[in-house]
């Protein structure tokens, strides 16, 4: 196996520069290359590859390999957008000295991810600017659920002590507004502590992980084919994207590719998921600034797509469709025609709804300059997906790392610079139009053949990265295989985990009554973050 031609010069340069401090590159796939190095090289490697090769550190996670190799491993995943490949650095952490140096001061984007490793694996962070608990609440006992010697079904004793230790915010006229975990609407749980002086917000502290369900641990206890159904339940509104990213990872570990027709149908489903969520959000954002009639239209249009989903896959959220090796159901002529007809009828109605919103000056007034996430802040925090694209971050896995069938079609990635709620709405509107075009192209040249290939047996000990650009942004699953079609580890990264800290920045200086619309304009998944 050879690396991608565009990656080769990078690998050569890195190998030359770090010499014997770095292992020889190990190629899992032509676009997925692993290096092994001692912990003390992590920081230098990061600084070099980010500066010299404009790499993006997008994933930090750990794996308990004590039974096989006697150590924990830390993995640092770098995306090289220009070369369309991933370089992954693996560093061992000895169990008798369970600690590692933080990169957060250099790369703010890994703040929460590093703390999650600390909580779930018990590897102590050195030099983190805010090394408090993140994934486990402060009242949890001293347990590390992702260690292999921790039992999934363990019954933890009743929790004691304060649930959250907040930072103190003081000053004349400063007061605190605690909100949640049960919110006023039909939304997921989380706790927000606003520190305000008068109306503007001075500081927002987020406490999530209320819906932590032990999902990553659960993946280790079930066969990989059942894992597809679990992946569908990571974040319900991204069921198909998560399931597809998971299948992608397992297929890459098994060194196989889904057949062309399956990849095309996967892309169609990903776009249908994007359509119903984007349309719902456009309505919900309007609703939060009191333009309720637009929301009614949006919910009506969303329903049309959910019913199309049901006709195509038997489930309104596309559940059950994904499977290892392809998709479970092929679509006959009438079904394909239903897609074409539904979207043809939807388009003018969607444009009419957008017209109403664009002509509503009060809506524009509330959205413009509200919840501004500046491009430089977005880049620092590594904000991904539509929130990133509304703040000048020109990244989209569909274009940069084409998965499913995205290498066979033409589309535009909308990018805006203002980073306000209005731009996050604009990105959605543009992407709905693009999605309609993408689906049309896919249907027009749908490849023939089977929609599902048999999975070959795969050996234990393989590692693989799988991904999909969900409607929120990039979704990653990383797996290590175990014997008999099982997994020893499945790391799940939802774009929400990456984007939540940006909300704390976007809210600064805004008034508390604008928080709902700012929050909705990001519309991050709590369950995807908490898992």
Rounded Cα–Cα distance for residues 507 and 518 (Å): 7
- Choose the binding region for another protein from 169-177, 372-380, 422-430, 523-531 (rule: CB under 8 A): 523-531
Q: Work out which of 143, 290, 344, 511 binds another protein, going by CB under 8 A.
A: 143
Instruction: Compare residues 181 and 260 and give the one whose CB is closer to another protein.
Output: 181
Spell out the alpha helix ranges (H) of 314-414.
Answer: 333-358, 361-367, 375-380, 385-389, 397-400
Contact call for residues 113 and 102 (beta carbons, < 8 A):
no
Instruction: Compare residues 236 and 260 and give the one whose CB is closer to another protein.
Output: 236
- Is residue 527 at the binding interface for another protein, with CB under 8 A as the rule? yes
Shortest Cβ 71–another protein spacing (Å): 24
Per the listing, tokens 């927002």 go with 204
- Is residue 119 at the binding interface for another protein, with CB under 8 A as the rule? no
Site size with another protein, rule: CB under 8 A: 68
- Is residue 293 at the binding interface for another protein, with CB under 8 A as the rule? yes
Instruction: Compare residues 168 and 186 and give the one whose CB is closer to another protein.
Output: 186
Chain center to CA of 88:
18
Kind and range of the H or E run holding 83: none
Shortest Cβ 161–another protein spacing (Å): 13
Q: Work out which of 25, 145, 470, 495 binds another protein, going by CB under 8 A.
A: 145
Q: Which two tokens stand for residue 164?
A: 């959250």
- Is residue 214 at the binding interface for another protein, with CB under 8 A as the rule? yes
Nearest CA to 287 out of 425, 419, 177 is that of 425
Nearest CA to 434 out of 389, 378, 384 is that of 389
Instruction: Compare residues 352 and 444 and give the one whose CB is closer to another protein.
Output: 352
Shortest Cβ 381–another protein spacing (Å): 23
Q: Work out which of 108, 316, 379, 486 binds another protein, going by CB under 8 A.
A: 316
Residues β-bridged to residue 510: none
- Choose the binding region for another protein from 85-93, 300-308, 384-392, 431-439 (rule: CB under 8 A): 300-308
- Is residue 210 at the binding interface for another protein, with CB under 8 A as the rule? yes
- Choose the binding region for another protein from 11-19, 89-97, 185-193, 423-431 (rule: CB under 8 A): 185-193
Q: Work out which of 189, 260, 402, 437 binds another protein, going by CB under 8 A.
A: 189
Site for another protein in 327-386 (CB under 8 A): 352-353, 355-356, 359
- Choose the binding region for another protein from 143-151, 364-372, 436-444, 475-483 (rule: CB under 8 A): 143-151
Instruction: Compare residues 242 and 426 and give the one whose CB is closer to another protein.
Output: 242
Instruction: Compare residues 104 and 215 and give the one whose CB is closer to another protein.
Output: 215
- Is residue 236 at the binding interface for another protein, with CB under 8 A as the rule? yes
- Is residue 159 at the binding interface for another protein, with CB under 8 A as the rule? yes
CA angle 121/124/127 to nearest 5° reads 140
- Choose the binding region for another protein from 24-32, 144-152, 410-418, 500-508 (rule: CB under 8 A): 144-152
CA angle 374/128/52 to nearest 5° reads 60
CA distances from 84 to 26, 407, 477 (A): 17, 12, 17
Nearest CA to 429 out of 268, 294, 234, 227 is that of 294
Q: Work out which of 56, 137, 261, 493 binds another protein, going by CB under 8 A.
A: 137
Q: Work out which of 90, 217, 403, 428 binds another protein, going by CB under 8 A.
A: 217
- Choose the binding region for another protein from 226-234, 258-266, 396-404, 473-481 (rule: CB under 8 A): 226-234
Rounded Cα–Cα distance for residues 110 and 116 (Å): 10
Buried b (16+ CB within 10 A) or exposed e, 514-531: bbbbbbbbbbbbbbbbbb
Shortest Cβ 201–another protein spacing (Å): 21
Shortest Cβ 258–another protein spacing (Å): 19
Spell out where 127-244 has E strands.
Answer: 174-179, 191-197, 201-207
Peptide bond into 181 cis (omega under 30): yes
Fill in the DSSP letter of residue 137. Answer: -
Residue 242 φ/ψ, nearest 5 degrees: -65, -45
Nearest CA to 7 out of 79, 89, 91, 90 is that of 79
Residues β-bridged to residue 79: 56, 86
Contact call for residues 487 and 227 (beta carbons, < 8 A):
yes
- Is residue 211 at the binding interface for another protein, with CB under 8 A as the rule? yes
Kind and range of the H or E run holding 327: strand 326-327
Q: Work out which of 70, 94, 178, 314 binds another protein, going by CB under 8 A.
A: 314
Using CB under 8 A, list all residues that contact another protein: 137, 143, 145, 150-156, 159, 181-182, 184-189, 209-215, 217-218, 222, 225-226, 228-230, 233-237, 239, 280, 293, 296-297, 299-300, 302-303, 306-307, 310-317, 319-320, 352-353, 355-356, 359, 525-527
């Amino acid at each position: 196996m050879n690396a991608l031609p565009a990656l080769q010069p990078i690998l050569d340069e890195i190998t030359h520069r770090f010499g014997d401090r770095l292992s020889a590159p190990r190629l899992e796939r032509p676009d997925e290359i692993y290096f092994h190095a001692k912990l003390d090289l992590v920081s230098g490697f990061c600084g070099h590859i980010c500066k010299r090769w404009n790499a993006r550190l997008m994933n930090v996670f750990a794996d308990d390999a004590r039974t096989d190799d006697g150590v924990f491993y830390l993995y640092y995943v770098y995306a090289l957008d220009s070369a369309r490949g991933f370089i992954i650095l693996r560093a061992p952490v000895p169990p008798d000295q369970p600690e590692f140096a933080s990169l957060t001061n250099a790369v703010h984007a890994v703040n929460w991810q590093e703390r999650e490793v600390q909580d779930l694996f018990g590897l102590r962070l050195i030099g983190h600017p805010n090394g408090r608990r993140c994934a486990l609440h402060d009242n949890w006992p001293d347990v590390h659920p992702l260690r292999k010697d921790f039992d999934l079904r363990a019954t933890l004793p009743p929790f004691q002590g304060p649930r959250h230790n907040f930072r103190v915010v003081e000053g004349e006229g400063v007061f605190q507004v605690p909100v949640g975990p049960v919110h006023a609407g039909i939304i997921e749980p989380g706790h927000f502590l606003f520190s305000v002086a008068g109306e503007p917000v001075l500081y927002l502290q987020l406490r999530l992980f209320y819906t932590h369900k032990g999902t990553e641990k659960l993946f280790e206890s079930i066969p990989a084919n059942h894992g597809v159904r679990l992946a569908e339940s990571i974040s319900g509104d991204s069921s198909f994207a998560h399931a597809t990213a998971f299948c992608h990872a397992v297929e890459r570990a098994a060194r196989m590719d889904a057949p062309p027709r399956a990849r095309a149908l996967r892309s169609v489903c990903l776009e249908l998921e994007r359509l119903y969520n984007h349309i719902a959000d456009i309505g919900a954002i309007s609703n939060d600034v009191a333009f309720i009639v637009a929301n009614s239209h949006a919910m009506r249009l969303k329903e049309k797509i959910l019913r199309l989903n049901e006709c195509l896959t038997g489930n309104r959220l596309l559940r059950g469709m994904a499977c290892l090796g392809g998709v479970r159901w092929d679509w006959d002529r009438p079904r394909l025609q239903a897609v074409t007809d539904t979207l043809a009828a939807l388009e003018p109605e969607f444009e009419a709804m957008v017209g109403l919103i664009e002509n509503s000056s009060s809506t524009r007034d509330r959205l413009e300059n509200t919840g501004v996430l500046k491009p430089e802040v977005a880049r620092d925090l590594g904000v991904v997906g539509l929130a990133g694209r509304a703040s000048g971050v020109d990244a989209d896995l569909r274009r940069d790392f084409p998965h499913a069938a995205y290498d066979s079609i033409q589309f535009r990635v909308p990018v805006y610079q203002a980073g306000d709620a209005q731009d996050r709405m604009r990105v959605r509107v543009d992407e709905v139009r693009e999605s309609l075009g993408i689906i049309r192209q896919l249907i027009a040249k749908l490849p023939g053949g089977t929609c599902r290939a048999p999975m070959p047996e795969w050996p234990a000990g393989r590692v693989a990265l799988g991904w999909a650009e969900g409607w929120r942004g990039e979704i990653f699953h990383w797996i290590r295989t175990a014997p008999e079609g099982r997994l020893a580890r499945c790391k799940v990264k939802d774009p929400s985990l990456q984007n939540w800290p940006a909300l704390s920045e976007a809210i600064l200086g805004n008034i508390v009554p604008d928080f709902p619309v700012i929050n909705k304009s990001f519309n991050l998944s709590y369950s995807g973050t908490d898992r």
